Amino acid sequence: MKICTFNVNSIKARKDLVIEWLNHRNNDIDVLCFQEIKVEDKNFPSEDFKKLGYVYQDISGQKGYNGVATLSKLEISHYQKGLNHEYFDVQKRVLIDKIIEKEIFVINTYAPHGDLRGGEKYYYKLDWYKHFINFLKENFDFENQKIMLLGDLNIALEDIDVYDPVLLTDSIGTMPEERELLRQLLNLGLIDTFRYLYPNKQQFTWWDYIGGAIWRNEGMRIDYILVSKPFLQYVKNVEVDLWPRRRRSPKPSDHAPVILDLEI
């Protein structure tokens, strides 16, 4: 069983690339979690993905910004959209589903990007994370439930997760207060599957479009697949697939997909 998180940076712009990539992989992914789809639910290209077997779909989109979608070949039941908060749920960032057969909660997440310290978006990101952590604490049992939280979390947790920790010190995604909030999220009882399997490996998931950063591998690891402790025993491998990022045409997302391989 394979589950993927992929910030597509507009499903409208990236649909052909994603379908080409899935065919390149022989359509081996069972659950696809997209972030930053940037379309309203009614405009999501559902039929194109149903043709590839993703007949179970849950979408929480908005026009031009944000948005998440979970597509599955396995039956899923919709659990919740958003965080039960009028202010934070204006932006479509969280979608929770349950893979029925496996009793797995899938929390598809697109965290705010933030801004330089002191800006409005900076405070929004910190406040969003605080509410997100409290929401999870109140609604899930990470010691006993099989939970997967995955997506673009917009924070590089450690210096190994950025290409130049000196140059990027105190920049968006590396500020100590951001990293502390991600650690608080992990401390709920979640394990970073990539770092668990590869404690010393440097691997990025995002590269700026500017200056050909992907070809110099000047990136950051900001996309994660986190699992609760009861889930860890099923984790076989985690990979970052660079094929859809190292494209010139169709134009790629600035992120690469992260894929979790499970034996369950």
DSSP code per residue over the chain: -EEEEEE-S-HHHHHHHHHHHHHHTTS--SEEEEE---S-GGGS-HHHHHTTT--EEEEE--TTS--EEEEESS-EEEEEES-S-TTGGGS--EEEEEETTTTEEEEEEE-----STTSHHHHHHHHHHHHHHHHHHHH--TTTSEEEEEEE-----SGGGBS-TTTTTTSTTT-HHHHHHHHHHHTTTEEEHHHHH-TT----SEE-TGGGHHHHT-EE--EEEEEEHHHHTTEEEEEE--TTTS-SSSPPPSB--EEEEE--
Q: Judging by DSSP bridges, how do beta strands 94-99 and 104-110 pair with one another?
A: antiparallel
Segments forming the whole domain that contains residue 235: 2-262
Confidence (pLDDT) at 109: 98
Q: What is the mean pLDDT of residues 183-204?
A: 98
β partners of residue 224: 151
What percentage of residues in the chain have a pLDDT greater than 70? 100
Q: What is the mean pLDDT of residues 132-158?
A: 97
226, 255, 233: which is closest to 242 by C-alpha? 255
Number of domains present in the structure of the chain: 1
Confidence (pLDDT) at 188: 98
Confidence (pLDDT) at 184: 98
* Arithmetic mean of pLDDT over the chain: 97
Confidence (pLDDT) at 257: 98
Tens of pLDDT, residue by residue over 167-177, are 999 999 999 99
CATH number assigned to the domain comprising residue 67: 3.60.10.10
Tens of pLDDT, residue by residue over 33-83, are 999 999 999 999 999 999 999 999 999 999 999 999 999 999 999 999 999
Q: What is the mean pLDDT of residues 11-31?
A: 97
Other beta carbons within 10 angstroms of residue 184's beta carbon come to 15
Confidence (pLDDT) at 209: 96
Confidence (pLDDT) at 11: 98
Confidence (pLDDT) at 31: 98
pLDDT interval class at 228 (50, 70, 90): very high
pLDDT interval class at 26 (50, 70, 90): very high
Confidence (pLDDT) at 92: 98
Instruction: Name residue, tokens 């801004």.
Output: 115
Confidence (pLDDT) at 39: 98
Confidence (pLDDT) at 28: 97
